[in-house]
Amino acid sequence: MRHTRVNELLKSTEYGKEVAVKGWVRTKRGNKQVAFVAVNDGSIIHSIQLVVDLSKFSEELLKPITTGSCIHAKGLLVQSQGQGQTVEIQVNHLELLGGADETFPLQKKGHTLEFLREVAHLRPRTNTFGAIFRMRHHMAFAIHKYYNDRGFYYLHSPIVTGSDAEGAGEMFRVTTLDAVNPPRTEDGAVDYAQDFFGKATNLTVSGQLEGELGAMALGLVYTFGPTFRAENSNTPRHLAEFWMIEPEMAFYDLQDNMDLAEDFLKYLIQYALDNCKDDLEFLNQMYDKELIARLQSVVANPFERLTYTNAVDLLMNSGKKFEFKVEWGTDLQKEHENYLVEHFKRPVILTDYPKHIKAFYMKQNDDGKTVRAMDILFPWIGEIIGGSQREENYDKLVTRMREMHIPEKEMWWYLDTRKFGACEHAGFGLGFERLMLFVTGMTNIRDVIPFPRTAKNAEF
């Protein structure tokens, strides 16, 4: 008899039916007559209870069935007398598939998240991380569904690249050259012409530039892949390896871009509310009593939209003493973003930032000072989306690249889109783990990706 997954068993009302289950033991308790074994197989947050009549099974068989071990059980599905569960299995066959001795690190409930990060190879077996990683799957699926349903094409942008899309210079070098003794050019520099790709290459910081090439052919595209940034910022919101979703749309201006981004975020949050109920209720109860209410409120209300300039005015007139001074032209700090989100009590879309704090590709406004950028700020998270309308004018783009010391020679292919059939277009990037922070209510980004990579940390 083939085993049934726990999520199916818990839904079943076929009482008296013979069933089989396979999974990992969460707890074992009981008395001299009967043992209750909770088995979880990851299909759902809940475990199924096995009722083992000790007169029918040897001590020898039962003893190694401990927390963390893997078992196969068969028996009758019966209605449960216990609280909080509908069915249980009256066991008539029990088999140990893989034992786990007393060194299994997840013996008790209530381990700290910090401790669980040290055992990231086993933490998916906890209720918390089971819930988070199931939700991560559902969100990834919803992202593809959202764009597929709207006629966008999934474009696979490269991981290895020669360009720095954001111009922030926080890239990881990809090389096969000898680290100790690399070949050198006559003037002593490392000779990347002899490297694997015949040039200096890096892990990508963004798929946007290739996304733009796609949009200029397929109209509506999105990328969804890993991106890498060697920024040494040890914050609860930054990873060195994170996933980003980057839609890019031909014939979209900034307004269209904002409308899409707002609709997209609301869709994803509603999708979580509709499809991750058990996991959300668990997280709501265990970590953040306002989680579900907060998700509902974001879906229900329009985002606040204002320009960077108006936001700076508001902050300067707020009467609040900020640690970092606000004045027109400076990048907003976390405390400023928080103030804005709390002031409006909803997500905020800021637009038209000073050009010198934004990337070279953003469309320049006629004022000569600002660009058609947009950042979406979320409660607690801060920036969840960054995007813009793109500069499609060849001359303006090249001028800006020169001002910002972007090597235009290496970007010939990007500039070609402005030479051949250029058009108005726009796009944005959603940090997948920032979204996951918001929908799970977790407060550290290391807890919403299975195997986090941050400075000094690439274990597992």
Residues that bind ligand 4AD (CB under 6 A): 165-166, 206, 208, 229, 231, 238-239, 242, 244, 246, 383-388, 427-429, 431, 433-434
User: Binding segment for Mg ion among 58-66, 71-79, 380-388, 433-441 (CB under 5 A)?
Assistant: 380-388
Nearer to Mg ion, 214 or 387 (CB): 387
Q: Is the dihedral of CA 203, 254, 411, 357 positive or negative?
A: negative
**3-class state of residue 137 by DSSP:** helix
Residue 431 within binding range of Mg ion, rule CB under 5 A: no
Selected range binding Mg ion among 9-17, 191-199, 294-302, 385-393, rule: CB under 5 A: 385-393
Least distance in angstroms from the C-beta of 416 to ligand 4AD: 19
Which CB, 28 or 355, lies closer to ligand 4AD? 355
β-pairing, 48-53 vs 87-98, is: parallel
Smallest gap from residue 264 Cβ to ligand 4AD (A): 13
Query: Closest by alpha carbon to 130, among 452, 447, 459, 435?
Result: 447
Rounded Cα distance, 4 and 126, in Å: 21
Distance of CA 174 to the CA centre of its chain: 24
DSSP assignment of 29-95 equals EE-SSEEEEEEE-SSSSS-EEEEEETTTS-HHHHTT--TT-EEEEEEEEEE--STT-SEEEEEEEEE
Q: Which is nearer to ligand 4AD, 50 or 350 (CB)?
A: 350
Could you tell which of ligand 4AD, Mg ion, none binds residue 246, using a CB distance below 5 to 8 A set by kind? ligand 4AD
65 binds, among ligand 4AD, Mg ion, none (CB under 5 to 8 A by kind): none
SS3 318: coil
CA 145 from centroid of its chain's CA atoms: 16
Which of the choices ligand 4AD, Mg ion, none does residue 239 contact, using the CB cut-off of 5 to 8 A by kind? ligand 4AD
Amino acid at 365: N
Q: Where does 150-253 have alpha helices with state H?
A: 208-218
The nearest distance, CB 121 to ligand 4AD, in angstroms, is: 22
Nearest distance from C-beta of residue 315 to ligand 4AD, angstroms: 20
Rounded to the nearest whole angstrom, what is the least distance from the CB of residue 245 to ligand 4AD in the complex?
9
Pick 214 or 386: Cβ nearer Mg ion:
386
Q: Which does 75 bind (CB under 5 to 8 A by kind): Mg ion, ligand 4AD, none?
A: none
Q: Binding to Mg ion by residue 386, rule CB under 5 A?
A: yes
Rounded to 5°, the CA angle 193-199-200 comes to 120
| 427 is a contact residue toward Mg ion (CB under 5 A) | no
Nearer to Mg ion, 247 or 386 (CB): 386
DSSP type of residue 411: T
Q: Which residue has the tokens 């299975």?
A: 450
Q: Which is nearer to ligand 4AD, 46 or 372 (CB)?
A: 372
State how far the alpha carbon of 10 is from the alpha carbons of 35, 49, 70, 222, in Å: 20, 10, 19, 38
Choose between 133 and 428: whose C-beta lies nearer to Mg ion: 428
- Chain residues binding Mg ion by CB under 5 A are 386
